[in-house]
Amino acid sequence: MKRNTLFVSLLAAGCTMMMNSVSAAEGGRDAISIVGSSTVYPFSAAVAEQFGKKGSFKTPKVESTGTGGGMKLFCGGVGPTFPDIANASRSIKKSEFETCQKNGVKDIVEVKIGFDGIVIAQSKKAKQEIVLTRKEIFLALAKRVPDPQAPESGELVVNPYKTWNEVNASLPKTKIEVLGPPPSSGTRDAFAELALEGGCLQIPWLKAKKETDDAFFKNVCMTIREDGAYIEAGENDNLIVQKLEANPNAAGIFGYSYLTLNEDKLKAAPIDGRKPTYELIANGSYPISRPLYFYVKKAHVGVIPGIEEYLAEFTSDKAAGPEGYLADKGLIALPDADRKKAAANAKSLTPIAAPK
């Protein structure tokens, strides 16, 4: 009898393994595929690691492609050759949503995971600390700026500022050299909107243009210079950290999480009198902060194993709560009510409407 019982148990186990293999084969993959934002990457990778340790499912594959690059892959279509989840350091654009729809990605679930601040940081080896306003950031990094000889004339010139002290005499007499993300990055998009446009709005005649000629305003206020003062450093924020160590006179732009992970090497510039801290980002006082998201392809749920369970892990208090393990990575937690709403939304898999 014992032999028969053992045989039946082995047969059952074999059938279970066979069924799992069939499910994986039907899906074409047996592990979740995640792409997107370099800012969200450390959080997503941490959740993937914890998720994989449980042993029920394979550890998800997480790639840092930038928000724009991730959305392009995510919206490419439905099926095992396309990602299941796209991390994003901004909300999905209308054009991206339309591309998704065109390629058959009909039901997209948005999950807000928390907040992040965008920092401008230097190496701790830098001799003089940069203290900036958003207006100074705009003047230092925009492609076109008001004529320094007649700043209120309404005339623009190609950015002439070469050193920080030319922007403001109190700033260091060092070359403007800022390492930052490329156009495909959500951090770049958010920086242009929050820092550059925010600075633009502090110049009265440009602020007035927003009401009368919004296209002109956005073109001027959100276009970064291309003459070498701003250096595109790719989607790998760790590379920016390494370059700042090698060049203490340079500054770098990246998410708050990378600052927290490199506090022994970096110091952040105060912006409009406020340094990026957990508390100031959480309450909205730090001027360059933004929400973070990931997007889920509902058509892949139930086909690629583990997606629902991964969402539950990511939105749990033990991960995304104020005392969760993602807080150690630099994630600023959502308020309690918003966090519960995000978890409920991830569980119900309610698709979003088209962005306006």
- Same domain for 137 and 256? yes
| Pairing between β-strand 178-180 and β-strand 33-36 as defined by DSSP bridges | unpaired
d(CA 146, CA 92): 32
Of the three residues 290, 309, 329, the one that is the final residue of a domain is 290
Unique residue bearing structure tokens 């490419």: 76
What is this structure's pTM?
Answer: 0.78
CATH number at residue 135: 3.40.190.10
- Same domain for 226 and 284? yes
3-state secondary structure of 181: coil
3-state secondary structure of 316: coil
Q: What's the domain count of the chain? A: 2
Q: Return phi, psi of residue 115, to 5°.
A: -125, 160
- Same domain for 335 and 303? yes
Q: Tokens at residue 238, please? A: 């760790």
- Residue 21, pLDDT score: 34
Would you say residue 180 lies in a domain? yes
- Same domain for 127 and 182? yes
- Quick one: how many helices (H) and strands (E) in the chain? 16, 11
Per-residue pLDDT of the chain (356 residues; tens, 9 = 90+): 444 443 334 334 444 433 333 343 344 789 999 999 988 999 999 999 999 999 899 999 999 999 999 999 999 999 999 999 999 999 999 999 999 999 999 999 999 999 989 999 999 999 888 999 999 999 999 999 999 998 888 899 999 999 999 999 999 999 999 999 888 888 888 899 899 999 999 999 999 988 899 899 999 999 999 999 999 987 677 788 888 988 999 999 988 988 888 989 999 999 999 999 999 998 889 999 989 999 999 999 999 999 999 999 999 999 999 999 999 888 999 999 999 999 999 999 999 999 98
Report whether 252 contacts 188 (CB < 8 A). Answer: no
- Same domain for 169 and 239? yes
- Same domain for 304 and 239? no
d(CA 164, CA 169): 8
- CB-based contacts of 43, cutoff 8 Å, min separation 6: 113, 114, 257, 292, 326, 329, 331
Q: What is the 3-state secondary structure (H, E, C) of 188-248?
A: HHHHHHHHHHHHHCCCHHHHHHHHHCHHHHHHHHCCECCCCCEEECCCCHHHHHHHHHHCC
| Pairing between β-strand 251-255 and β-strand 230-232 as defined by DSSP bridges | unpaired
- Same domain for 132 and 246? yes
- Residue 13, pLDDT score: 40
- Same domain for 153 and 176? yes
Would you say residue 104 lies in a domain? yes
- Same domain for 265 and 342? no
| Pairing between β-strand 289-297 and β-strand 85-88 as defined by DSSP bridges | antiparallel
Structural domain range at position 97? 29-115+291-348
Which one, of 83, 33, 290, 36, lies nearest residue 184 by Cα? 36
Distance in Å from the first CA to the final CA of the chain: 68
Which one, of 297, 268, 255, lies nearest residue 38 by Cα? 255
Of the three residues 290, 314, 329, the one that is the final residue of a domain is 290
